[in-house]
């Protein structure tokens, strides 16, 4: 069985994929932390250094951006690609400008406030488990701490455009999008589907930016179908 390598989003750890780590039990599962570098190239190199020779690759949000860089650097090692609630384009100047004040506040000890006021409200759709997931997001962020926030912010600000990378991808691919994602709109996922027309594109109903936690049953089913395609291929 092809191993599955999971890359979490900004200020998230393995708990972002806890439902998947439990449900997908027919293959080796690995998590690639993306906390030690402040640029996409080196983050991807770290992932590849610890990864098996061949693997299926799934990333959410910033994890999806790192996954695209992994694919760019080592396409021969990636057996299949899943990108979830992410963006293949370089960061726009207006988004960069919004990051700088956040980073300054985090340097002054306001990580909790930034997560509470400016980031967490954009994460999730309304739902019965919303508060529990928000609490988990805060705990993951505070566990990782301000230095990780600053490094990840720099990596996102200076990331390269990966549209050409996706356009070259012919591996089994899955594009997932939380229906109510306020951070990564449908247009970005439609763009990825245009770049990879062979990919399966699925909207996760009732989910926001973190469908792996908000609607795990839907996500687990779609991931298993994608992995089965890789195995057959």
Per-residue pLDDT of the chain (233 residues; tens, 9 = 90+): 899 999 999 999 999 999 999 999 999 999 999 999 999 999 999 999 999 999 999 999 999 999 999 999 999 999 999 999 999 999 999 999 999 999 999 999 999 999 998 877 778 898 888 999 999 999 999 999 999 999 999 999 999 999 999 999 999 999 999 999 989 999 999 999 999 999 999 999 999 999 999 999 999 999 999 999 996 44
Tracing tokens 């985090």 back to the chain, one arrives at 106
With 0-12 CB in 10 A as exposed, 13-18 as middle and 19+ as buried, what is 76? exposed
φ/ψ (deg, to 5) at 109: 95, 20
pLDDT at 222 (0 to 100) = 98
Contact 73, 48 (CB under 8 A): yes
Q: Which of 71, 49, 58 is nearest to 31 (CA)?
A: 58
Kindly list the domain boundaries of the chain, sorted by start residue: 4-92+153-232
* Domain 4-92+153-232 fold: Rossmann fold (3.40.50)
pLDDT at 119 (0 to 100) = 76
Helix H, strand E, coil C: the string for the chain is: CCCEEEECCCCCCHHHHHHHHHHCCCCCEEECCCCCCCCHHHHHHHHHHHCCCCEEEEEECHHHHHHHHHHHHCHHHEEEEEEECCCCCCCCHHHHHHHHHHHHHHHCCCHHHHHHHHHHHHCCCCCCCHHHHHHHHHHHHHHHCHHHHHHHHHHHHCCCCCHHHHHHCCCCEEEEEECCCCCCCHHHHHHHHHHCCCCEEEEECCCCCCHHHHCHHHHHHHHHHHHHHHHHC
pLDDT at 232 (0 to 100) = 47
Contact 106, 146 (CB under 8 A): yes
Distance CA 33, CA 17 (A): 12
């Amino acid at each position: 069985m092809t191993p599955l390598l999971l890359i979490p989003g900004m200020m998230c750890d393995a708990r972002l994929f806890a439902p998947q780590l439990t449900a997908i039990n027919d293959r080796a599962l690995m998590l690639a932390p993306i906390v030690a570098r402040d640029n996409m190239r080196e983050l991807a190199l770290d992932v590849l250094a610890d990864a098996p020779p061949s693997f299926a690759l799934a990333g959410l949000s910033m994890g999806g951006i790192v996954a695209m860089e992994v694919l760019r650097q080592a396409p021969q090692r990636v057996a299949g690609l899943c990108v979830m609630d992410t963006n293949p384009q370089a960061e726009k100047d207006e988004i960069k400008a919004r990051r700088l004040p956040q980073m300054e506040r985090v340097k002054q000890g306001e990580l909790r406030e930034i997560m509470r006021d400016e980031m967490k409200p954009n994460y999730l759709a309304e739902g019965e488990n919303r508060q529990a997931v928000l609490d988990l997001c805060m705990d993951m962020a505070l566990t990782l701490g301000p230095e990780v926030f600053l490094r990840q912010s720099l990596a996102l600000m200076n990331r390269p455009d990966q549209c050409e990378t996706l356009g070259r991808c012919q591996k089994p691919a899955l594009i997932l999008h939380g229906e109510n994602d306020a951070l990564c709109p449908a247009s970005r996922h439609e763009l990825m589907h245009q770049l990879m027309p062979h990919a399966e594109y699925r909207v996760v109903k009732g989910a926001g930016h973190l469908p792996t936690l908000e609607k795990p049953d839907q996500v687990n089913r779609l991931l298993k179908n994608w992995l089965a395609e890789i195995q057959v291929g």
